[in-house]
Homo-oligomer: A and B are copies of this chain.
Amino acid sequence: MRIKLIIEYDGTNFCGWQYQPGLRTVQSELESAIEKLTGEKSRVTASGRTDAGVHALGQTAHFDTNKDLGEKYAGALNYYLPPDIRIIRAEKTSEDFHARFSAKNKTYKYVIYEAQTDSAILRGRAVRVGYRLNVRAMNAAARSFFGKNDFSAFMSAGSETVTTVRTVTDISVKRKDGLIIISVSADGFLYNMVRKIAAALIKAGRGALDGDGIKELLCKGAVFTPVAPPEGLYLYKVEYKI
């Protein structure tokens, strides 16, 4: 049977999601916890990889097993997992469900704070900018990303993808309790797409780029090189067709 997992992790001390021999990755920790619990070697498939330092509040994954623990997989796996990975929910799902291919929409958040000095508390959880950001200008610029666009200017080499067209279904920038939070939803994301969008919106926030500039970048398709740092990025949720 197939088990669906909703996973939260602090990406700080992981070399990203994907298995790499000898390195501490989220996938390896999960597969090792499943083996300890079930005695079976299972492959865990996520909605997508995340890079080193990137966090998740709602990463979604699946694996196949013969052991019918259903919802109890959450508590049982948490027993074997390190505290920087937590299974928020587990459930038996259909064999047709695929964490990557059944995904309909994904939401990421990018968290920024404005300060002259790095914060000891926010270290690893948010990205510092040393100047005041204009959130209104960031929102205005963000509208240029909305809808169906060719995002080839906003990807890095390494995207496993046939097409570079994606549909941004929601994008907003909010100031909240001293943090600035960029929220982006799309039917899919190219490699580094959110971190490049975040870098563009930070630029917009200090008046160095606007909506027209972003539209021009999208049209031309020439690579927008800035990439905002990984530690501000959170995979917030993944929505499914089934």
Q: Residues on A close to B: CB < 8 A?
A: 8-10, 55, 57, 74, 78, 83-88, 117-121, 123, 125, 176-177, 234
Contacts and interface: CB of A to CB of B under 8 A. Distances in A.
A125 B55 CA distance: 16
Contacts of A9: 120-121
Contacts of A74: 117
A86 B8 contact: no
Contacts of A118: 78, 83, 86
Nearest to A26: B120
A229 to B, nearest CB: 14
A8 B177 contact: no
A210 to B, nearest CB: 30
Contact of A83 (B123, B177, B234): B123
Contact of A86 (B57, B78, B119): B119
A60 to B, nearest CB: 15
Contacts of A123: 10, 83-84
Contact of A121 (B55, B119, B120): B55
B8 A121 contact: yes
29 contacts: A8-B119, A8-B120, A8-B121, A9-B120, A9-B121, A10-B120, A10-B121, A10-B123, A55-B121, A57-B121, A74-B117, A78-B117, A78-B118, A83-B118, A83-B120, A83-B123, A84-B120, A84-B123, A85-B120, A86-B117, A86-B118, A86-B119, A86-B120, A87-B117, A88-B117, A121-B125, A121-B234, A176-B177, A177-B177
